[in-house]
Amino acid sequence: TQLLEQSPQFLSIQEGENLTVYCNSSSVFSSLQWYRQEPGEGPVLLVTVVTGGEVKKLKRLTFQFGDARKDSSLHITAAQPGDTGLYLCAGARPNNDMRFGAGTRLTVKP
């Protein structure tokens, strides 16, 4: 059982559509990161959220940390083929333990 559950596992959409992916847990995290990984490469850090309720925007990407710091969401507006990849969330627990979710594999078709 994953400490962090990501949903959906797979998502295939058309260019221009909006989407939201989720990262949920029953544990509280001191911080949560989102990463994007392309095939054969290492994950690349997109954002870190620290405060419950925090919202961060990165161009067309909006990240939200739940009020209780147990969950997070990533919303992409007007998706583009370049957004295709594996989106991973990772949580840091108060004991310094880092855990990754299994990821959401996003495909954006032109």
Partner 1 sequence: DSGVTQTPKHLITATGQRVTLRCSPRSGDLSVYWYQQSLDQGLQFLIQYYNGEERAKGNILERFSAQQFPDLHSELNLSSLELGDSALYFCASSFEARGTYEQYFGPGTRLTVT
Binding interface with partner 1 (CB under 8 A): 30-31, 33, 35, 40-45, 48, 50, 88, 90, 92, 96-100, 102-103
Looking at the Cβ atoms of 67 and 97, the one nearer to partner 1 is: 97
Residue 82 backbone dihedrals phi, psi, to 5 degrees: -65, -10
Looking at the Cβ atoms of 42 and 110, the one nearer to partner 1 is: 42
The CA distances from residue 22 to 35, 41, 44, 76, in Å, are: 13, 23, 18, 12
For the bound state, the minimum distance from the C-beta of residue 57 to partner 1, rounded and expressed in Å, comes to 18
Is the torsion defined by CA of 77, 82, 84, 87 positive or negative?
A: negative
Residue 3 near residue 28 (C-beta atoms within 8 A): no
For the bound state, the minimum distance from the C-beta of residue 14 to partner 1, rounded and expressed in Å, comes to 26
Looking at the Cβ atoms of 44 and 78, the one nearer to partner 1 is: 44
For the bound state, the minimum distance from the C-beta of residue 78 to partner 1, rounded and expressed in Å, comes to 27
Residue 91 near residue 3 (C-beta atoms within 8 A): yes
Residues 6+ apart with CB under 8 A from 42: none
For the bound state, the minimum distance from the C-beta of residue 62 to partner 1, rounded and expressed in Å, comes to 19
Looking at the Cβ atoms of 20 and 37, the one nearer to partner 1 is: 37
